[in-house]
């Protein structure tokens, strides 16, 4: 099964999606993320056996037990590799040090399970991926994004099933912070 680890939050997906919808009218040639699929990924695992999934769940429960709730803010639009050559359009995170620390803990524990460490990590919430080439977002008068506090409350283990209509995400395990 194809898995990833996401941060469980009290994010108001409706507000983020309304912002995304305004971008849809401004920027074309982008495969936009569906409202129900909005999330902040901590680590993409890819194809994972049932046995490894059980090990992953065990380690995630241990990480969650020793992690307290924390807050951060979404701060505005950005892109990978950069705003002038956008291939991935996302909402950036302000005060994301605890998210990065959490990701590093996941990376350290999952190395022995055969998962590669991330070279770098920039916490973000993906809104869309450019279908062909890139987009210069500086050309557009992008709507203003109002930053709000978001509380991180746990970790989600998510199964991703790819279909011709886009991915289907299913939460297969949930670990609340201690």
**Can you give the residue ranges of every domain in the chain?**
2-176
Q: Are strands 41-47 and 124-130 parallel, antiparallel or unpaired?
A: unpaired
Whole-number pLDDT of residue 114: 92
Whole-number pLDDT of residue 166: 86
Residue 109 has pLDDT above 80, yes or no: yes
What are the tens digits of pLDDT across the range 118-175?
A: 988 999 999 999 999 999 999 988 877 778 889 999 999 999 999 998 899 999 999 9
Q: What sign has the CA pseudo-torsion 33, 36, 97, 22?
A: positive
Tell me if the domain spanning 2-176 has CATH number 3.90.1140.10.
Answer: yes
Whole-number pLDDT of residue 143: 75
Q: How far apart are CA 4 and CA 105, in angstroms?
A: 15
Q: Cα 82 to chain center, whole Å?
A: 18
* Three-state secondary-structure class, residue 165: coil
What are the tens digits of pLDDT across the range 18-40?
A: 889 989 988 999 999 999 999 99
Residue closest to 89 by CA, chosen among 160, 33, 42: 33
Residue 100 has pLDDT above 90, yes or no: yes
Catalytic residues: 39, 124
């Amino acid at each position: 099964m194809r898995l990833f680890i996401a941060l469980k939050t009290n994010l108001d997906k409706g507000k983020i999606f309304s912002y995304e919808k305004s971008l849809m009218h401004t920027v074309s040639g982008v495969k936009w993320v569906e409202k129900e699929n909005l999330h902040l990924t901590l680590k993409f695992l890819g194809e994972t056996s049932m046995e490894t999934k059980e090990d992953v769940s065990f380690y995630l429960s241990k990480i969650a037990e020793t992690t307290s709730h924390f807050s951060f803010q979404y701060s505005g639009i950005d892109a990978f590799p950069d705003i002038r050559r956008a291939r991935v359009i996302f909402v950036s995170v302000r005060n994301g040090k605890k998210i990065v620390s959490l990701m590093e803990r996941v990376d350290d524990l999952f190395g022995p399970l055969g998962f590669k460490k991330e070279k770098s990590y920039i916490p973000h919430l993906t809104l869309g991926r450019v279908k062909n080439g890139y987009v210069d977002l500086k050309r557009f008068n992008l709507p203003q994004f109002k930053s709000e506090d978001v509380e991180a409350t746990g970790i989600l283990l998510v199964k991703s099933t790819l279909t011709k209509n886009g991915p289907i995400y299913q939460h297969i395990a949930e670990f609340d912070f201690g």
